[in-house]
Amino acid sequence: MKRLATYSVALLGLLAGQFCLTSCQNTDQRDIRDFYYPMRSLEDGTVYEYRSPTIDSLTPAYWYHRSFIQDEGVYLTSTYYEHKLEPLQLVKEEMVSNGMLVQDVFLYAPSDSTGRQDRIEVEVLQGAAFPFSVSDSSGVFLYKVRWSPPQDSGAIYTVTKNRRYTGDTIVNIFGKEREAVVFQVKELLEYDKNGVFEKQYGGQEVYAWGIGLVYYSKTVDEQMSWDYALVDRYPMDTLEQQFKQQLNLE
């Protein structure tokens, strides 16, 4: 069966060459699979709505998650929307023996003034999405993708994300306290066209028991950072109705 690759800090330095991380020597493994999205309750599909708790001007973010529990495997598809009900990103993950592994990623971008979208296939180089067991010294879980957008001929974008489990916390979500796990995220964006431009980001992800991702943040520099927290969950037809009402008001 397929497995997530777990990289030591030293090996990660050779692979990514950008981030210096430390870890302890405790090798006790902890099962955290119940902190990821609840697969069985997502078979009919559920929208997760996120809003920024600190920046009122940021538009909401919507992720539509749907699971497929089949004889050949368990899969999760996640589609990302913002203020218009048009997909911007689609991710397909497969459950493997020790975590969730990204299989496919597609991006959607406007191709012309008519609003038609181009579907851009993204090459998945390393696909760790979420580990099922961690320890204080579990190393780094590597996600790396690459694509060439048609609207920027000759350019190659590469994104590398390194996730590292950093501990436990308690979150108040939907009026109840829940246990949660925290991951530190280091991200590197590379833009390759007549030379390579690089930009590093830092951030955090928090996953609550029985729910999945409830908070995430990203810091570019001292002047630019943002965060999102989960505020609601509901069926897709509820989101569609919200957008219809917005269109009637405009």
Cα angle, residue 185 at apex, residues 90 and 58 outer, rounded to 5°: 60
Structural domain contains residue 99: yes
List pLDDT tens digits, range 118-156.
Answer: 899 999 999 999 999 998 755 789 999 999 988 888 999
CB-CB contact of 8 with 139 (8 Å)? yes
Helix, strand, coil shares of the chain, percent, nearest 5, are 10, 55, 30
3-state secondary structure of 168: strand
CATH number of the domain that residue 239 is part of: 2.40.360.20
Would you state the structure tokens that stand for residue 48, as one six-digit string? 């997760």
Q: What is the pLDDT of residue 98?
A: 92
Rounded CA-CA distance 220/57 in Å is: 18
List pLDDT tens digits, range 232-248.
Answer: 999 999 999 988 887 77
Q: Which domain holds residue 105?
A: 6-249
List pLDDT tens digits, range 12-53.
Answer: 443 443 333 333 344 578 899 999 999 999 999 999 999 999
Q: What is the pLDDT of residue 25?
A: 42
Structural domain contains residue 90: yes
Looking at the structure of the chain, the number of domains it has is: 1
Structural domain contains residue 1: no
Would you state the structure tokens that stand for residue 132, as one six-digit string? 């099922």
